[in-house]
Structure 1
Amino acid sequence: MEHLTSVVARAKTRDLDAWSLLVHATQAMAYAVALRVLQDPDQAQDAAQEAYLRAFRNLAELEEPAAFISWLRRIVITVAETLRKASRTTLLRLDDISVVPVLDEAETRWSEAQRRLLSGALLTLTASERRLCDRRYHGRWSTARLAGDAGIDEAVMRKRLQRIRDKLRKEMEMAEQRDVGPEDPGADLSAEIVELLARPKLTDLPDNPVGRILESIRGFYSNFAEVELPEILDLTEIAKAMGCDLPYLTLPDLYRIDDHRALRSDLTLPLLMRVHFEGQPLRVWAAGKAYRNDQPDATHLEAFHQAEILWLEEHESSDQWSVAGRVLQSIEALLPGKAVKIVPLNYSLCSYAREIEVEHDGKWTEVAAWGVYTDRIVRYLGGDPARHTAVGVAYGLERLAMLRFEIDDIRTIDVISLA
């Protein structure tokens, strides 16, 4: 990079030999970026050539020679996007909805391949950095609002966002320079798995219908502690730890990574694996995405959101009836006046389980379920079945949001704002 920086400095003085060296060093990257936008080798070659012409004419405006690659990459994207728009008819499709952030005003659209590269880069962020990205670029939060939420000065927040953008760009540029294809995000995860994991966590967006539903539910469990859960599960470890057969771990709709790992299909198992009873009442909750290898349509998603509640207490402090009352109160608050029915549910981890269905336009939709865990699970959590009861509740957040806010197509829910 030091050598390239010195070459850039010489090229800024209109040294053509230095410029030739720059083109030679970066042409593979420039062509790869253009190809991922245009998906056509001839057009990509034209776009790269035009980008170099623009870069040469405007090189004197580049203040930091070390930023040459990032600067050139943005020029290539701009040229390629202009060429792509000029050669196609613009149609509005659900697939056009962006699920990853646009990093600046010059990058207003992403090709499928670029989205996959950015998805891979997003997985390198910390949980707090991902939350900021989701709120800034997907939730459209202003820097002032982000700063107020974090309790810091707005200038500090702007610098924090810039560091995140730089981190993402660096990851993408490294992949481009390695000539990593869109089908190979550079990890042991498939491109499809990477993009699913990179989709925004709507429970962190209070202006989104899913985030709004979670806020309401949390009011009924205000004395419960939040727990962060892994999104990738070791199936062998789970089966061994639980000490029982878990048939749904082998279901065909699991998103499998390999023979032993899969994306979580619900939050129940990850939560049970994460917490342990230490003598005091165990009251915890978690929320986030779950994944099912299902065909998306107006009522189904591959990546959807759940809220999971777990508490373990003395028998007299927690039973199925008090649980049922709390769950029904929360559903009534979310969907006032809706007809509700309680349906028996067979669930391998529970000795007693029920689901709640809500009637809407003549159809019944499952929106929540609760159950009393078996003695085996109570012992696994560290409790004594003779003294303690463990209860779990699961809420389907997208389904509740669809009914509460009269959303016809669940595939649009991530772009809806209630602010």
Structure 2
Amino acid sequence: MINQIEEVKAKFLEELQTLKDEKELEEFRVKYLGRRGIIQSLFDKLKEIPREEKPTVGKILNELKELAQEKFNEKKKEIEAKKEKVKISLDLTIPGRFKYTGRKHPLTQTLEEIKKIFVSMGFEVASGPEIEDDYHNFEALNIPPEHPARDMQDTFFIKENIILRTHTSPVQIRVMKSKQPPVRIIAPGRVYRNEAISARSYCLFHQVEGLYVDEGVSFAELKGTLLAFAKQMFGSSVKLRFRPSFFPFTEPSAEVDVSCFICGGKGCKVCKYGGWLEILGCGMVDPNVFKFVGYDSERYTGYAFGMGVERIAMLKYGIDDIRLFYENDFRFLEQF
């Protein structure tokens, strides 16, 4: 019995030195000093030893209990002192950590605003794959293999005839092949082109293209739609200018400018002192495109337009470098 008491004493003192916090200290107290602890179990065994040995063993047990309680109290004070020291060492004058409030990317904000405007005018939002085949991206849009327009839309090839789309126009083809007129959609999404990265161009960007096909659709309706969009996007005082242009999938085609909403058309740095800002391209759908989708070009007419979201955002917010949208610099993003 005495040997067992000495073993408990040695183990008690050894484990006591390993305690690090109040949780471990409490678990240790329950283990050794609790009502069902190891030391109490030794007292319970006194009745099993001979009567003549009880005084001696009882005395040793009492000394063990007193020593255990004393050492436990010392360890408790030591742990509490360390905890208090940590509290005192905290510098309460140090500013707390700043929590950033999440917000939408400026391109997302601009894209959502564009979609909201066109949806309010009766357009549906359509989407398609970013990895596209040559047929939908070029041929069905009246751009055959040797057409010079392909040089302006050099892209990235996944494999032969499978590419990263250069515009969202393939979505228009897919929608027309699956649906008969009337068709009134916008096709927003990412597009890719193999271009040198600079302040004005990037290897990927976002587009919103629109399409309206029905009986009797005219260029006048196209102008009215784009004017309504421009006034909601840039302000009610904005004016539109249409300049003749060329796109393989529209005929006639035009580039569209808005009067500079920064200077009111008087000329400034943003509009390069010309008073106008180019925002998109548009035109009446070429009859050859209708042939690819099985539409009767004698019965149906339609218009299409396309704009770069980055271009719209740069004009609206006065941003002069497209790369800022993709650098994830908080100093830039937190302004929106």
More strand by share: 2
What stretches of structure 1 of length at least 5 have no aligned partner?
A: 1-138, 142-206
Q: 1:155-174, aligned counterparts within 5 Å?
A: none
Q: Using a 3 Å threshold, how does the CA distance of structure 1 residues 215 and 241 change in structure 2: closer, same or farther?
A: closer
Identify which of 209, 212, 215 aligns with 1:311.
212
The 3 A distance-change label for structure 1 pair 357 and 417 is farther
- The CA deviation at 1:390 is 2.1
Query: TM-score scaled by structure 1?
Result: 0.46
Query: Does residue 335 of structure 2 align to residue 335 of structure 1?
Result: no
Gap change, CA 1:334 and 1:278, over 3 Å in 2:
closer
Secondary structure of 1:362's aligned partner: coil
Q: Deviations over 1:355-404 (max 9, x none)?
A: 11345142554321111112222233342222211211111111111111
Query: % of aligned pairs identical?
Result: 24
| Aligned residue number for residue 218 of structure 1 | 115
Label 1:332 to 1:243 Cα distance change in 2 as closer, same or farther (>3 A).
Answer: closer
Q: Does 1:302 align with 2:190?
A: no
Amino acid at match of 1:208: H
With over 3 angstroms needed to count, the CA separation of the structure-2 counterparts of 1:417 and 1:281, relative to structure 1, is farther
Could you say which residue in structure 2 is the equivalent of 1:292? 193
Runs of 4+ in 1 over 6 A off after TM superposition: none
Q: How many residues align?
A: 215
Which of 326, 334, 356 is residue 256 of structure 2 equivalent to?
A: 356
Aligned to 1:169: none
Conserved? CA contact 1:238–1:273, under 8 Å? no
Q: CA deviation at 1:302?
A: 1.1
1:243-265 CA-partner distances (Å, limit 9, x unpaired)? 76262345573222333222111
Residue 381 (str. 1) matches residue 293 (str. 2): yes
The amino acid that maps onto 1:283 is R
Q: CA deviation at 1:140?
A: 3.9
- Please give the secondary structure, in 2, of the residue aligned with 1:307: strand
Q: Which residue, 259, 275, 281 being the options, matches 2:160?
A: 259
For 1:312 and 1:239, how far apart are their aligned partners in 2? Answer: 20
Could you report, residue by residue, the CA deviation over 1:313-372 in whole angstroms, capped at 9, with x for unpaired residues? Answer: 111xx2111111211221233233556432111111112111113451425543211111
2:154 partner SS? coil
The one-character-per-residue Cα deviations of 1:106-160 (angstroms, maximum 9, x if unpaired) are xxxxxxxxxxxxxxxxxxxxxxxxxxxxxxxxx946xxxxxxxxxxxxxxxxxxx
1:391-402 to 2 correspondences below 5 Å: 391-402=303-314
1:242 deviation in Å? 5.5
- Equivalent-residue separation in structure 2 for 1:326 and 1:338 (angstroms): 14
Give secondary structure in 1 for the equivalent of 2:158. Answer: coil
Distance 1:314 1:332, change over 3 A: same
Aligned in 2, Cα 1:319/1:361: closer, same or farther, shift over 3 Å?
same
Unaligned 5+ residue runs, structure 2?
1-100, 261-270
Pair 303,236 (structure 1): closer, same or farther in 2 beyond 3 Å: same
**Amino acid of the residue matched to residue 357 of structure 1?**
D
RMSD: 2.9
Match of 1:16 in 2: none
Rg: which structure is higher?
A: 2
Q: Distance in 1 between matches of 2:187 and 2:233?
A: 19
- If asked which structure has higher relative contact order (CA below 8 Å, sep 6+), I would say 2
- Higher helix fraction: Structure 1 or Structure 2? 1
Residue aligning to 1:227: 126
Could you tell me the TM-score, scaled by structure 2's length?
0.56
Distance of aligned partners of 1:374 and 1:412 in 2 relative to their CA distance in 1, 3 Å threshold: same
- C-alpha spacing 1:347/1:242, structure 2 compared with 1 (3 Å): closer
